[in-house]
A and B are shown apart, each in its own frame.
Chain A
């Protein structure tokens, strides 16, 4: 017997046609148990999408997954191993969602060529709801049900370069050491030396000056000097762990081990570390209004959560101890208002050195395990043209003083896609000398170069321009990579 089920929403109607098997469903003979044809009518598109079981399965699977991505914001690119889907969904720039129905792999066509249907959020929701109503309906394909699974950490990461993780045993050691570190503002016995670092020291432990990590320069690593008191796991950690259990009753000033830090994962991925390093650098520079001028280097070990918050820090030499409280780090440490310490799911471990000349140097405590990917860059010509114009406009607006220099000043300027100047550096000597004559410092907004996505700090893509201020008051802008 032929049976038809229809699910109508304002923007979407799903119609299933099939057969009901009398034997299997005696109590309710109208149950659609074998699907013959499925049709999906969407408002604004006269011709419906349609197909057999494969089409419906693909439609349900893909739409359901996409709805989940909208809810979580976690997108998973289709894996190469999975068979191609008949139906696809992808976001468009203008808040629309493109539903594509392809000819199926067997060559049977679904209404000819692939069809694109651009849906608004409300239309897409109606499609999802039609599917959900069908899945809830015990009179249609009762063996189908809504199967929802959270996207795994692994799947969610496939879009990014894989984290080069250290061996698990090593992670165990380092997270223990880090655990000890964060709580152990307790005095550390002087005679205890730093244990042999089990990590092969990276060949490109770098001290950041410019915005790019100059990985691969072959510079010797700068391992912690043996004279430094070290955070050692065993003797310090055990008593402190006991204290942690009572930590809830303690005032905010004590530095407790954040509860999750012993389970928190240390970030070893060079790109992520590099991003955190730059974020930390910018935070420190932004806080540097109270300039400290130490007579010797102040060395601190600083833990930064994946969202860029400073979880804790520890002076690593006597001078650092003396100055502790006077450095920008004090103001940066994130202290939850109700007391205790901030927690994070993963963290980066950094060495921060305040130099007598005032310039902080920041590098990963254990160096880099590989080369960080270069910062994402805007390369589209049209986009570069638009941003160049926007940058020029901003500069002219603020550059009101008569030029007093005689030679052109050349700068490299990094601009985000919304036209914000987030970094710049002088290229030639006059630019160094007359930097203050330009409005770049006033225009630059450090904090705009990062964005938090899913609790992680990420770098925004930048357009890199060469900006020249001429003595005649003209601003020339060109992309660093050329047009």
Chain B
């Protein structure tokens, strides 16, 4: 358990830019948990070795006190109630901050492809052309749909809404635009605070 680890390791300096949000519930609200997992899922769809990168960054950013290994990473992400093997444990704010920090670092690393994909999408929208006109976009969305379907529980009502390919594509594009906003100077703070919109 995280609580048994010394406080220094659970409060790495890199997380100090993200302030604690006063919320009534123990652990992060449901939308927060879902959104963090989906953001990471979109990053994985962008990059073939996404989950390796997450672990490598965790080490690099000295967040190992929180994300020790692959199993812990999986457990944290599976606090997303949409997951097939959704975990009942709460997601603490420190854990959520660690995931947000990693996600934003990864997003920044992938700024160029994120911008390119979004620009291609805008062009297709203006020309009213279908997404499959862009091989890059199709590839990202195909991977996103595959990741989403293999990990989310199809009988959860939140997931049912994304049964159709188009709906999942829309979600994939929405997440891509959100990732762009994570790449900025204050991306991590912006993402972090947004996770609690409507929850405080």
In this complex, the member of A279, A334, A339 whose beta carbon has the largest number of chain B beta carbons within 10 angstroms is A334
How many angstroms from the CA of A71 to the CA of B193 in the assembled complex? 9
Query: Are B197 and A94 closer than 8 Å at their CB atoms?
Result: no
How many angstroms from the CA of A120 to the CA of B122 in the assembled complex? 7
Chain B residue at minimal CB-CB distance from A151: B197
Query: Are B197 and A156 closer than 8 Å at their CB atoms?
Result: yes
How many angstroms from the CA of A466 to the CA of B31 in the assembled complex? 39
B95 to chain A, nearest CB (A): 17
| Contact among A73, A121, A148, A260 with B25 in the assembled complex (CB-CB below 8 Å) | A260
How many angstroms from the CA of A125 to the CA of B176 in the assembled complex? 12
Q: Which residues of A contact B158 (CB under 8 A)?
A: 307, 452, 455
Query: Are A340 and B88 closer than 8 Å at their CB atoms?
Result: yes
Query: Are A72 and B195 closer than 8 Å at their CB atoms?
Result: yes
Query: Are B200 and A153 closer than 8 Å at their CB atoms?
Result: yes
Q: Which stretch of A131-139, A165-173, A178-186, A223-231 is in the interface?
A: A131-139
How many angstroms from the CA of A161 to the CA of B68 in the assembled complex? 45
How many angstroms from the CA of A73 to the CA of B25 in the assembled complex? 21
Contact with A along B8-46 (1 / 0, CB 8 A): 000000000000010011000111001100000000000
A450 to chain B, nearest CB (A): 8
Q: Which residues of A contact B29 (CB under 8 A)?
A: 345
Q: Which residues of A contact B161 (CB under 8 A)?
A: 450-452
Given contacts A72-B195, A338-B88, contact A120 B200 (CB under 8 A): no
User: A319 near B: Cβ within 8 Å?
Assistant: no
User: B180 near A: Cβ within 8 Å?
Assistant: yes
Q: Which residues of B contact A122 (CB under 8 A)?
A: 115, 118-119, 122, 180
In this complex, the member of B87, B88, B156, B198 whose beta carbon has the largest number of chain A beta carbons within 10 angstroms is B198
User: A474 near B: Cβ within 8 Å?
Assistant: no
In this complex, the member of A71, A153, A450 whose beta carbon has the largest number of chain B beta carbons within 10 angstroms is A71
How many angstroms from the CA of A136 to the CA of B177 in the assembled complex? 23
Q: Which of B84-129 contact A (CB under 8 A)?
A: 84-88, 115, 118-119, 121-122, 125-126
| Contact among A120, A121, A133, A309 with B185 in the assembled complex (CB-CB below 8 Å) | A133
Q: Which residues of B contact A155 (CB under 8 A)?
A: 198
A329 to chain B, nearest CB (A): 15
Contact with A along B171-200 (1 / 0, CB 8 A): 000100110111111100111011111111
B164 to chain A, nearest CB (A): 9
| Contact among B118, B160, B178 with A71 in the assembled complex (CB-CB below 8 Å) | B178
| Contact among B30, B35, B184 with A128 in the assembled complex (CB-CB below 8 Å) | B184
Chain A residue at minimal CB-CB distance from B196: A150
A131 to chain B, nearest CB (A): 9
User: A361 near B: Cβ within 8 Å?
Assistant: no
Contact with B along A53-79 (1 / 0, CB 8 A): 000000000000001111111100000
Q: Which of A314-373 contact B (CB under 8 A)?
A: 334, 336-340, 342-345
Query: What are 9 contact pairs spanning A and B, CB under 8 A?
Result: A67-B190, A70-B181, A71-B178, A132-B185, A150-B195, A150-B200, A151-B198, A338-B85, A338-B86
Closest 9 A/B residue pairs (Cβ) = A156-B198, A71-B194, A150-B196, A72-B197, A74-B197, A72-B194, A148-B193, A132-B185, A151-B197
Contacts A122-B119, A151-B200 given; 14 further ones with Cβ under 8 A? Answer: A67-B190, A73-B197, A120-B118, A121-B180, A125-B181, A132-B186, A133-B185, A135-B186, A136-B185, A148-B186, A148-B189, A156-B198, A309-B156, A345-B30
